[in-house]
Amino acid sequence: MNKNESAENYLETILILSKKLPVVRSVDISVELGFKKSSISIAMKHLREKNQITVTDSGFIYLTDEGREIAEMIYERHQILTRCLTHLGVPEEIAGEDACKIEHVISKESFNAIKSHAGKILTEL
């Protein structure tokens, strides 16, 4: 997994957790991803340095506008690609794993083409 892909996964995880929890902390990310707290701490430092997250004195993690934009883009790709693959008959777990790999490397143009083409199918799901 390259550095950018890893950062995108962390941002997406923060977004997903923020939809489920009142606040997101490093321990929540650690539990969700199954990574050591030390690894999460290093990743959060890098995301702070890139101004993609802020961390309060209490340890609450929030996405910045830039971080939220990236997270929402990756999350949308993940959701749509997973739904397309499951619609094609791929088991849901495999579809989710494959979508997670594809979402980081697919071009904006290719994703938009898939999204546009699949629009009718996706609204039926």
pLDDT tens digits for 80-92?
A: 999 999 999 999 9
How high is the pLDDT of residue 124? 59
Q: What is the pTM of this model?
A: 0.87
Options 1.25.40.10, 1.10.10.10, 3.10.110.10, 3.40.50.620; CATH for 3-64 is: 1.10.10.10
Q: b/e per residue, 87-123, with b = 16+ CB within 10 A?
A: eeebeeeebbeebbebbbebeeeebeebeeebeeeee
Rounded-to-integer distance, Cα 107 and Cα 113, Å:
10
Q: What SS3 class is residue 59?
A: coil
How high is the pLDDT of residue 117? 84
Residue boundaries of the structural domains of the chain = 3-64, 69-124
Q: What is the pLDDT of residues 92-113, one digit of tens each?
A: 999 999 999 999 999 999 999 9
- Phi then psi for residue 80, to 5 deg, are -70, -45
Rounded-to-integer distance, Cα 112 and Cα 125, Å:
19
Residues 41-45, mean pLDDT to the nearest whole number: 95
Q: What is the dotted CATH code of the domain comprising 69-124?
A: 1.10.60.10
Q: What is the pLDDT of residues 13-26, one digit of tens each?
A: 999 999 999 999 99
Cβ atoms of 71 and 15 closer than 8 Å: yes
Q: Is the pLDDT of residue 120 over 80?
A: no
Q: What is the residue-averaged pLDDT of the chain?
A: 92
How high is the pLDDT of residue 82? 94
How high is the pLDDT of residue 4? 84
- Phi then psi for residue 57, to 5 deg, are -60, -25
How high is the pLDDT of residue 2? 59
